[in-house]
């Protein structure tokens, strides 16, 4: 399992790995790597956005790639960055953005580490469906 801090992320990584294959789930995917072929666009963003790492990049062989953000109490500033900058960028790059939010996923964010439950699976599946991911 990758090294990162965040409630819900270890469980989401396991669930995504079981759904799409663990080798297809890359944790802490930097924005810079996403825009490697468009350095001018990368440079147009401020330092805070440039340093952003998406929680998970999911390569899918039968569908468009996913970029998954797991948000546990990140607040309004993170929401604005996601809604106003990152999600529109992903749409432009033909990558589907998925936000797994603590406001909607109560099971997943109960404890930082807990045995995976059916409720956790339901939370992740609902977030994927809300983002219009075709499973």
Sequence ranges of the domains in the chain: 9-130
pTM (whole model) above 0.85: yes
- The yes-or-no verdict on residue 106 having pLDDT over 80 is no
Q: In what order do the strands lie in the sheet with 96-101?
A: 25-30, 53-58, 66-71, 96-101
What is the rounded average pLDDT for all residues in the chain? 87
Per-residue pLDDT tens over the stretch 16-33 = 999 999 999 999 999 999
Per-residue pLDDT tens over the stretch 53-79 = 999 999 998 789 999 999 755 667 777
Tell me the CA distances in angstroms from 16 to 20, 99, 123, 124, one per residue in order. 6, 13, 12, 8
Tell me the CA distances in angstroms from 105 to 33, 41, 86, 116, 130, one per residue in order. 29, 33, 21, 13, 12
The whole-number pLDDT of residue 3 equals 46
Measured between alpha carbons, how far is 46 from 50 in angstroms, rounded to an integer?
A: 6
pLDDT grade, residue 115 (50/70/90)? confident
């Amino acid at each position: 399992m990758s090294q990162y801090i965040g409630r819900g992320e270890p469980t989401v990584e396991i669930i995504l790995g079981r759904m799409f294959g663990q080798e297809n789930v890359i944790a802490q995917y930097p924005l810079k790597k996403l825009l490697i072929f468009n350095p001018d666009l990368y440079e147009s963003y401020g330092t805070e956005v440039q340093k952003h790492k998406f929680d998970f990049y999911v390569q899918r062989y039968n569908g468009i790639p996913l970029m998954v953000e797991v948000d546990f109490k990140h607040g309004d500033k993170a929401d604005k960055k996601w809604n106003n900058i990152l999600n529109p960028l992903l749409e432009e790059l033909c990558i589907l953005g998925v936000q797994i939010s603590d406001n909607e996923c109560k099971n997943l964010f109960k404890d930082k580490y807990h045995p995976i439950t059916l409720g956790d699976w339901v939370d992740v599946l609902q977030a994927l469906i809300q983002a219009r991911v075709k499973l």
